[in-house]
Copies of this chain bind each other. A is one copy, B any other.
Amino acid sequence: MRNLKLEISYDGSRYYGWERQPDKPTIQGKLEEVLSRMCGAPVEVTGAGRTDAGVHAQAMVANVHLTSLLPAEEIRDYMNRYLPDDISVNEVKDASERFHARYNALGKTYRYVFYCGKKKPVFRRKYVQSIDFVPDVSLMEAAAEYLTGTHDFRAFSSNPNMKKSTVRTVDSIKIRLKNDYLTLDYHGNGFLQNQVRIMTGTLLEAGQGIKTPEEVREILAGKDRRLAGPTAPAKGLTLIEVDY
């Protein structure tokens, strides 16, 4: 059996997220459909993580065990031919037998993009969330500093019954406002369900003065989802990169 490593871009707008679901279009589902057809047998694709419905990816990584003897480039071309326009397989290459897209992932970068100008982001409207205020970036940065590092992020998880550890490390949160676009780049070793979206909803409140940076610190310490801000909308979020 070969073990192939795939790099995939997708526009998540019309999908019910990464994970396969019966009778609903998902990214994993589409990839498995095309590969199973190519192989004439069911194929299972393992992703580095699961993106939510409506979330995009610039470079999701996955692996798949196959018996096909086709060169990796031909598998890529075959997949691109049969996948819809909103999913691209950027690269297929042979990986070591033991490579596992999820277990071996060391870190991930997520990007949130908002637009706060008076025009409308016509050409990027599916990847950018419009907001009707101009945030104070220095307040957001002060709040983000409290969220950087190794912490119990339970307050920023949408799964209140999580039995496993909710401790994660967020290496960096980079925030910039340029030409009316607000960008938040998160890098960490792994994120809880909805963590990036809830951190972003909370930081946006900090940027409006609704919550002070110190209150954001208290939310983290309080470990209660109800204290944090809203879950930011999926469409502004893109998985940028997975490190191995």
Contact = CB atoms under 8 A, between A and B. Distances in A.
Nearest to A91: B119
A30 to B, nearest CB: 13
B118 A85 contact: no
Contacts of A56: 123
B10 A118 contact: no
A212 B180 CA distance: 46
Given A73-B118, A76-B118, A118-B80, A123 B85 contact: no
A204 interface: no
A85 B9 contact: no
B85 A120 contact: yes
Interface residues of A, number: 25
Contacts of A122: 9-11, 85-88
Interface string A6-39: 0001110000000000000000000000000000
Interface of A: 9-11, 56, 58, 73, 76-77, 80, 83, 85-90, 118-125, 127
> Can you list the 8 inter-chain pairs with the closest CB atoms, starting with the nearest?
A88-B120, A90-B119, A9-B122, A88-B122, A88-B119, A85-B125, A11-B122, A80-B120
22 contacts: A9-B120, A9-B122, A9-B123, A11-B123, A11-B125, A58-B123, A73-B118, A76-B118, A77-B118, A80-B118, A80-B119, A85-B120, A85-B122, A85-B125, A86-B125, A87-B120, A87-B122, A88-B119, A88-B120, A88-B121, A88-B122, A90-B119
